């Protein structure tokens, strides 16, 4: 099976949402600068809804064979699509679809100035599309090609990014709502970092206290700092919230400051999670070799694709670490997770607001049922197909 064409397609559409989609944002590394401290755009690719409608423009990569088999992956932003079109596409044409190790190695060696960030995202989406294509050619789900399944369903935790975290009445209501939906664990995001001083610290502590009192002592709670704190601030936060027994504290500082993670880890019994913003087995291994994290959260759309996740998983299991993929409820993350031992990949992250956005154009969305994600049994590849009824406009980009 030979690759004959690589296309980048942008689908646009309007998603209906209930009221204001992003009620609040999380703390970000840019918050130390006043002009960004309250900006929605300082966080990520957040686009605010208007009048209950959210305008979407998602780019997918399509890899086609000579006999018209198609693998697909996405969505990605314009920067990633540009890298695929201008630097990687030419490497793919004429290659054997099943030669994923060869293709990965050549892409990585081509991007000599792109060891992290969006260049690795570009590799990731191509790799995921190739796994989708292999599964479709063989008429098998990807998790079977990876050696699974190991279980029939996996617990999902509700990742509560975008909900108001300052109004404690709303916090209580949302926490109870998602507990009632069957989620056995929730992750909430701190709003304030060191720039907001003692006042912000107290509000972060109040969030933890409120959630513990609302959900009870037996409910699992995790908290995400999103790279926005420093060691003294995190240690003060830990000292105040350890009585509320968090399951883990996530991305305490920026990902390249591994020594800071070590300093924090040496002074707490709260497990530390992170590494979603680090890339490839070599980047993740920096955390592992230094013993800096308890839970690794590599993302198959970011770290180098499914092929690279397998290598990262081997590193994690060798060191008896937990690997829970970031944004794991995307199709690639789900198939990867079902191929892994539940001892090392026991949960899947379901971002309550993000997942429906990122999967809007997919016919088959990944949706937890009573707090669990069930094994995708009736599809080949990754199970990604585009819902034409949701498309307002379709255009090929960077041709």
pLDDT recorded at residue 139: 97
User: Does one domain contain both 17 and 77?
Assistant: yes
Q: Supply angle C-alpha 141, 373, 165, rounded to 5.
A: 135
Is residue 78 pLDDT above 70, yes or no? Answer: yes
Q: What is the pLDDT of residues 372-382, one digit of tens each?
A: 999 998 889 99
The token pair that represents 234 in the structure block? 């995190």
User: Does one domain contain both 316 and 293?
Assistant: yes
Closest to 69 in 3D by CA, of 381, 387, 307, 362: 381
Q: What is the pLDDT of residues 2-27, one digit of tens each?
A: 999 999 999 999 999 988 899 988 99
Is residue 41 pLDDT above 90, yes or no? Answer: no
Is residue 238 pLDDT above 80, yes or no? Answer: yes
DSSP 352: T
Residue 380 lies in a domain: no
Residue 324 lies in a domain: yes
List CB contacts of 267: < 8 A, sequence separation 6 or more: 235, 238
Q: What is the pLDDT of residues 329-354, one digit of tens each?
A: 999 999 999 999 999 999 999 999 99
Query: pLDDT tier at 44 (50, 70, 90 boundaries)?
Result: low
pLDDT recorded at residue 239: 98
DSSP 88: I
Cα–Cα distance between 71 and 186 in angstroms, integer? 33
pLDDT recorded at residue 257: 96
Residue 210 lies in a domain: yes
User: Does one domain contain both 341 and 257?
Assistant: yes
User: Does one domain contain both 174 and 43?
Assistant: no
User: Does one domain contain both 330 and 369?
Assistant: yes
Average pLDDT, the chain: 96
Among residues of the chain, what percentage have pLDDT more than 90? 93
Is residue 295 pLDDT above 90, yes or no? Answer: yes
Q: What is the pLDDT of residues 98-153, one digit of tens each?
A: 999 999 999 999 999 999 999 999 999 999 999 999 999 999 999 999 999 999 99
Structural domain boundaries enclosing 135: 3-139+388-396
CATH number at residue 92: 3.30.390.10
Number of domains present in the structure of the chain: 2
Q: What is the pLDDT of residues 164-194, one digit of tens each?
A: 999 999 999 999 999 999 999 999 999 999 9
User: Does one domain contain both 126 and 161?
Assistant: no
Is residue 310 pLDDT above 90, yes or no? Answer: yes
User: Does one domain contain both 283 and 392?
Assistant: no
pLDDT recorded at residue 43: 60
Angle of helix 280-289 relative to helix 258-265, nearest 10 degrees? Answer: 30
State mean pLDDT over 310-327.
98
User: Does one domain contain both 266 and 164?
Assistant: yes
pLDDT recorded at residue 35: 86
Tell me which residue has tokens 């009620």.
23
Residue 357 lies in a domain: yes
Cα–Cα distance between 119 and 126 in angstroms, integer? 11
Closest to 252 in 3D by CA, of 189, 299, 205, 208: 189
Is residue 42 pLDDT above 70, yes or no? Answer: no
The strand order across the sheet containing 53-65 reads: 70-76, 53-65, 3-16, 393-396
């Amino acid at each position: 099976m030979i690759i004959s064409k690589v296309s980048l397609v942008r689908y646009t559409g309007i998603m209906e949402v209930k009221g204001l989609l992003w009620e609040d944002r999380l703390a970000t590394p840019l918050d130390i600068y006043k002009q960004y401290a309250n900006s929605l755009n300082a966080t990520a690719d957040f686009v605010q809804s208007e009048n209950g409608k959210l305008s979407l423009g998602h780019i997918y990569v399509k890899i086609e064979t000579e006999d018209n088999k198609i693998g697909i992956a996405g969505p990605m932003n314009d920067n990633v699509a540009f890298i695929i079109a201008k630097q990687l596409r030419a490497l793919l044409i004429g290659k054997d679809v099943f030669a994923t190790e060869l293709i990965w190695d050549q892409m990585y060696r081509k991007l000599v100035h792109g060891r992290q960030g969006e260049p690795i995202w570009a590799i990731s989406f191509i790799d995921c599309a190739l796994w989708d294509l292999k599964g479709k050619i063989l008429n098998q789900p990807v998790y079977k090609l990876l050696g699974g399944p190991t279980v029939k369903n996996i617990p999902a935790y509700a990742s509560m990014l975008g909900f108001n975290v300052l109004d404690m009445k709303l916090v209580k209501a949302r926490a109870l709502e998602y507990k009632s939906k069957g989620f056995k664990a929730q992750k909430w995001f701190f709003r304030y970092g060191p720039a907001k001083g003692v006042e912000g610290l107290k509000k972060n502590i109040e969030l933890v206290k409120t959630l513990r009192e609302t959900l009870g002592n037996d409910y699992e709670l995790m908290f995400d700092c999103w790279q926005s704190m420093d060691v003294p601030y995190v240690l003060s936060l830990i000292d105040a919230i350890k009585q509320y027994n968090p399951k883990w504290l996530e991305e305490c500082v920026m990902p390249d400051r591994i020594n800071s993670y070590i300093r924090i880890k040496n002074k707490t019994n709260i497990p530390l999670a992170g590494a979603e913003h680090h890339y490839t087995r070599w980047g993740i291994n920096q955390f592992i070799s230094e013993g800096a994290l308890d839970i690794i959260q590599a993302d198959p759309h970011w770290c180098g694709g499914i092929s690279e996740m397998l290598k990262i998983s081997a590193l994690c299991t060798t060191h008896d670490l937990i690997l829970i993929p970031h944004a794991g409820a995307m199709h690639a993350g789900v198939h990867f997770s079902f191929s892994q031992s539940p001892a090392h990949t026991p949960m899947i992250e379901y971002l309550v607001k993000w997942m429906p956005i990122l999967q809007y154009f997919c016919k088959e969305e990944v949706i937890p049922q009573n707090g669990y994600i069930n094994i995708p049994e009736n599809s080949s590849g990754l199970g990604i197909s585009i819902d034409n009824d949701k498309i307002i406009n379709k255009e090929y980009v960077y041709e």
